[in-house]
Amino acid sequence: MNVWLMSAGVAAAAVAAVHVIAGHADPVRPLLDSALPAVPKRTLHVVWHWVSVDLVLAALTLIVLAAAEPVGTELVALLTAIHFAAYTVVFVVIAAILPGPWRLLRLPQWMLLAPIAALSLAGAA
């Protein structure tokens, strides 16, 4: 078993759970209660669910790779590391343009995503 990838998979599963539970309470419910027109509102709602599915599938991918170590594990782990690194970069860039001090802490999701990228990369080696 690849311990690095299992750690990444468990961490990704935890992030998926946080996303689904906290994400519904914090950004999704206010979004749905907002005065935004229906189509952009529902488009953003769909995007939130896409991310939920994406996080769950990435977690499952990492756990299966860790347990079974099939042919191609290194490549899939590397691509998954890049996937989580890209999520991390997006959060850091968007947070960095927010006004005021401590802007990186206003969108702290990158702190959960970066370790998954690092663990996946370690497991790909």
Confidence of residue 24 (pLDDT cuts 50, 70, 90): confident
CA distance 114 to 96: 16
Per-residue pLDDT at 2 exceeds 90: yes
Q: What is the pLDDT of residue 26?
A: 86
Q: What is the mean pLDDT of residues 39-45?
A: 95
CA gap 70, 91 in Å, rounded? 32
pLDDT tens-digit profile of 50-67? 999 999 999 999 999 999
Residue 3: per-residue pLDDT: 98
Alpha carbon distance 20, 101 (integer Å): 28
